[in-house]
Amino acid sequence: MLNKSISLFFLFSIIFGQFNHQDKLVIKRKLGQYTATIDFDGRVNETGFFHKHLDVGIHYPFMPTWSIGFKYRSQYRTKEDAWNLEQRPQVELLKAINRPNAKWQFRTRMDYRIREGKDDEMRNRSRIQFKFPKSITRLKITPFISNEFFFAPKTWDYYINWISFGFDLPKSKYGNPSIFYKYVQTHIDGDWKPTYTVVIKLTI
Q: What does the pLDDT look like over 48-83, one tens digit per residue?
A: 899 999 999 999 999 999 999 999 999 999 988 899
> pLDDT, tens digit, for every residue of 157-202?
999 999 999 999 998 888 999 999 999 999 999 999 999 999 999 9
> pLDDT, tens digit, for every residue of 113-129?
999 889 999 999 999 99
Q: What percent of the chain has pLDDT over 70?
A: 91
pLDDT for position 5: 46
State the chain's mean pLDDT as an integer: 91
Q: What is the mean pLDDT of residues 145-168?
A: 96
Q: Which of 107, 112, 197 is nearest to 149 (CA)?
A: 107
CATH 2.40.160.40 for domain 2-203:
yes
pLDDT for position 61: 97
pLDDT for position 13: 54
pLDDT of 7 higher than 60? no
For residues 6 and 157, the model is more confident at: 157
Q: What is the mean pLDDT of residues 19-40?
A: 95
pLDDT for position 42: 96
